[in-house]
Chains A and B, each alone.
Chain A
Amino acid sequence: MKNRWVVAGAALLIGVSGQAWSAEEVNLYSARKENLIKPLLERFTEESGIEVNLVTGKADALLKRLEAEGRHSPADLLLTTDAGRLHRAKEAGVLQPMQSDALEQVIPDTYRDPEGYWYGLSVRARPILYVKDKVDPQELSTYEDLADPRWKNRVCIRSSGNIYNQSLVASMIASRGQEATQQWADAFVKNFARKPAGGDRDQIAAAAAGMCDIAVANTYYLGVMLHSDDPAQREAAEKVAVFWPNQEGRGTHVNVSGIALTAAAGNRDNAQRLMEFLVSDEAQAWYAEVNHEYPVKADVAWSETLQSWGTFKADDVNMARLGEYNAEALKLMDRAGWR
């Protein structure tokens, strides 16, 4: 009786962990949701014959899993949707640098780690969105200006728990210093039309419905809304327009989704092939078509939606700095009472 259980248990364990031992494959921990990565991975498998094993999840939790598993981790690659987390992973010692000419030639300096620990795959911009019939774009200039009292009760933005807001504030600390940023945050919070709640799409919808005149949100949410099969979403999205702030200065805040080789990687070569595939023209165009993100690669044609928002100057602070200032940014927002 007891023996049967032991055999059954062993069979279960081998059955489950066995899949990690077969030949041509690469194992990926991805903070990008399955439906926003799997089609690309399938294309990769088709092209290369390398199977991709996938676990999706929240970036922080995946990072903890990597840390816990240590040098035995089955994961070869970690993919996140912001640079801050990649920086955390690097600090935690679970990554290793990768030298690849193919990657270095294609990806601009600011969108990858100076030491090659991680590489950006797509660019996500966080500009100001304004309601067309309420705000004259002439009134808009910079993120800093949104702290001016004339915007009182007119701004919608999500909570400070969100990494995109943390990165935005981190970018401001990087350029203007901590004190100036604190003063800005203190004043900015007073202009909120409501207590922060919901996601980026909710801010856009709230602006369109008249609750506020300005929303700060990532453009791909606007893109997804514009292409929604729900007429109400499309209608809401049509009411707002994109304004690119800080064009005279450091540029509009951007973040990247990126990928890194883990320290424990057992399938190094396959991992490198996948990374290089993800910056191929085909993959780069896919981000824009499916999720309205900007390619990191300069010569890839933009989708129509991206073109309609116009070109802009992006903040050229190295993404690694955003990670460095992340904790400081969060504390600063706590002090400002930004929920």
Chain B
Amino acid sequence: MNSKVESEWDPPKGGFMSLHGDGLASRIRRRLPDSWQAGVALVALLLALPILTVFGHLFVPAGDVWGHLVDTVLADYVGNSLVLMAGVGLGTLLLGVGSAWLTSLCDFPGRRVFEWALLLPLAVPAYIIAYTYTGLLDFTGPVQTTLRETFGWSYGDYWFPEIRSLGGAVAMLSLVLYPYVYLMARAAFLEQSVAVLEVSRTLGAGPWRSFFRVALPLARPAIATGVSLALMETLADYGTVEYFGVSTFTTGIFRTWFGLGDATAAAQLAAMLLGFVFVLILLEHWSRRRARFHQATQRYQMLPRYRLQGWRRWAAVAGCAFPLLLGFVVPAGQLSAWAVRTAGRTVDSDFFELTLNSMGLAAGAALVTLLLALFMAYGKRLCRGPIVNTAVRVAGMGYAIPGTVIAIGVMLPLARVDRALDGWSVEVFGISTGLLLSGTLFALLFAYAVRFLAVSLQAVEGGLGRIRPSMDDAARSLGLRPTQVLRRVHMPVMRGTLLTALLLVFVDVLKELPATLVLRPFNFNTLAVRTFELASDERLADASSAALTIVLAGIVPVILLSRSIGRSRAGQKHAA
């Protein structure tokens, strides 16, 4: 679909990859819309407000708590966070890229099912997979109990991996976060010019060589995006590491802020955390450097898949089944087993309302976030420059910040606005308006936008990056204004990308807990809240119905997502 529209607009140029520099056209573009630049900077500032608010605490005089942290636990926080990130980075890379390559370019039994099913773990919140695996693999769980009963062992007679450990956390997070890498890598492999891969084959490169020398380097920016999303999510994770007793930055922030009652030291920790994020962003940026990765050829056609034979077929099946089984089938199965036992008691009259609330919030947040992302990404395209670039980066940082921190960062400025409005209203009308924004759905949507903008932004920026700048130039020279170019040229071309952005945020909001918990209005509950309340009371079985509903509600968008990517294959005519 992309290719069709693109070919109408663009004359063939030849060559299959072009490294675009800033030509004359882009120099003209840069001088154009100052209002965009101001707009983007303003929105970025608004979205950065919660984070800046938290960092405002940095300038409050500190006690001796920072010294205490350095002496005792800081090394643990840094070490554990680094190991966690390295582990999850490696895990998501292996699981995500491997399965994406297999399903995009090879043929083996069950490939069509794996294509969409590999995304399913995305629908499982990390804290839920942690709960279920703990239920299964813990010392008192069915697996170890069965082992002990079968072999007559008791505690200390045998070795079994401890699920509640740093390694366990790496495994859990990798299993639910690899789909980000899979998603991005698969989209990149599918969009790669067939010609490139054909050339590599005609030059005698086998599948492995084509993969490592051509496909992988070309897909690198997409893969880097996927991994950086996964790592940001890892940094922000609180539920899993807290449950597993692993001390990381996130758990440290809360311990310091609440337990030690020191907001300054907590903000110092959060600042260090953001330091990590900056390094991530720089790495990702550096990996792209000045290369542009859009297609420059008009030749699209089906690329014959590698038909795997013999043991390779089954190795491919096993390679794809592994993450799917562990990341989805096992936890969903365990949840279902619990739900069957407890549903009669736990699915009450509120349940429908909970589901509706969850879905409504997720849909609203997805839409708002997408609009913001479009605005920012297009603004960045229109006026490249340090201000806009920085603004867009800063606005996307919320993804690595724990939800509770963002929630608190949202509450403080909103309350200030409310107070100002109230004061103004009392003065002018003599009526106190109280809190207009705090404690409403607006506060929640704002928090979601701050937290999840990075997800939409990455997708939209990726989509825009694949559209040649010459298209903008052509459209503009035909008299369209910048907004019209976005609406009439870019948006139709990147329909698949926009859908991806929408669905990713939808699923993310469905799973989101901490911000929802603190910011929601009176008498307003969601599935995630219900799940957490029961699970944190150590009633996993009772929590299963709500948890399973989150997973099920997430499956539909996940399948849609997979279909939209399947269709993006260059030269593919609507068949996945």
Tell me which residues across on chain A come within 8 A of B541, comparing CB atoms: 230
Docked Cα-Cα span, A58 to B532, in Å, equals 11
Q: Could you tell me the distance in whole angstroms from the C-beta of B542 to the nearest C-beta in chain A?
A: 9
- The reply to whether B523 and A70 form a contact with Cβ atoms under 8 Å apart is no
Cα–Cα distance between A34 and B247 once the two chains are bound (Å): 29
Min C-beta distance of B408 to chain A, whole Å: 5
Given A16-B521, A211-B155, A56 and B72 contact (CB-CB distance below 8 Å): no
Over the window 197-223 of chain A, the binary record of Cβ atoms lying under 8 Å from chain B Cβ atoms (1 yes, 0 no) is 111111001101111000000000100
Q: Does B412 contact A (CB under 8 A)?
A: yes
CA distance A34 to B350 in the complex (A): 12
Distance A202 CA – B245 CA, assembled complex (angstroms) = 12
B415, A33: Cβ atoms under 8 Å? no
The answer for the CA separation of A221 and B536 in the assembled complex, in Å, is 12
**Which of B165, B261, B404 has the largest count of A CB atoms less than 10 A from its CB?**
B261
Q: Which of B247, B259, B408, B541 has the most CB of A within 10 A?
A: B259
Interface status of B533 (Cβ within 8 A of chain A)? yes
8 Å CB contact of A69 from B439, B523, B537: B439
Determine whether A27 belongs to the interface, using a CB cutoff of 8 Å to chain B.
yes
In the assembled complex, the Cα of A147 lies from the Cα of B147 at a distance in Å of 33
Q: Does B255 sit at the interface, judged by CB under 8 A? A: yes
Binary A-proximity of B428-450 (CB < 8 A = 1, otherwise 0):
00000011111111100000000
CB neighbours (8 Å) of A195 from chain B are 165, 245
Give CA–CA (A326, B407) in the complex, Å: 24
Q: Which of A16, A62, A202, A339 has the most CB of B within 10 A?
A: A16
Indicate if the CB atoms of A206 and B412 lie closer than 8 Å: no
Q: Return chain A residues, CB-CB under 8 Å to B259.
A: 161, 166, 326-327, 330
The answer to whether the Cβ of B230 comes within 8 Å of any Cβ in the partner chain is no
For B458-495 the 0/1 string (1 means CB < 8 A from A) is: 00000000000000000000000000000000000000
> Quick check: A161 and B520 within 8 Å, CB to CB?
no
Indicate with 1 or 0, residue by residue over B146-161, a CB within 8 angstroms of chain A CB atoms: 0000000011000000
CB distance from B218 to the nearest CB of A (A): 43
Report yes or no: B139 in contact with A206, Cβ–Cβ below 8 A: yes
- Chain B residues contacting A88 (CB-CB under 8 Å) are 261
Q: Does A11 contact B (CB under 8 A)?
A: no
Is residue A72 contacting chain B, with contact meaning CB distance below 8 A?
yes
Interface size bracket, B side: 35 or more
Contact A69 B261 (CB under 8 A): no
- Interface size in chain A (residues, C-beta < 8 A): 61
Task: Tell me the smallest distance from the CB of A27 to a CB of chain B, in Å.
Answer: 6
- CB closest chain-B residue, reference A212: B155
Using A54-B522, A331-B260 as known contacts, say yes or no to A200 and B517 having CB atoms under 8 A apart: no
State which residues 113-134 of A face B: CB under 8 Å: none
Tell me, yes or no, whether B534 is within 8 Å of chain A by CB: yes
- Bound together, the chains give a CA A197 to CA B133 distance in angstroms of 14
Contact B411 A64 (CB under 8 A): yes
* The residue from B164, B254, B260, B534 contacting A197, defined by CB atoms under 8 A apart: B164
Q: A195-B245, A211-B155 are in contact. Are A74 and B439 (CB under 8 A)?
A: yes
Given A198-B164, A208-B140, A330-B260: A72 and B419 within 8 A (CB)?
A: yes
Give the residue of B138, B164, B533 whose beta carbon is less than 8 angstroms from that of A33: B533
Is there contact, CB below 8 Å, between B435 and A17?
Answer: yes
Further pairs besides A17-B440, A55-B521: 14, Cβ < 8 Å = A56-B517, A60-B257, A61-B514, A68-B414, A161-B254, A195-B165, A197-B164, A210-B155, A326-B259, A327-B259, A327-B260, A327-B261, A334-B72, A339-B247
Sampled A-B contacts (8; CB under 8 Å): A19-B522, A54-B522, A55-B520, A60-B254, A68-B411, A72-B418, A198-B243, A330-B255
**Chain A residues close to B by CB (< 8 Å):** 12-13, 16-17, 19-20, 27, 33-36, 53-58, 60-62, 64-65, 68-70, 72-74, 88, 158-159, 161, 166, 194-202, 205-206, 208-211, 221, 224, 229-230, 232, 236, 326-327, 330-331, 334-335, 339
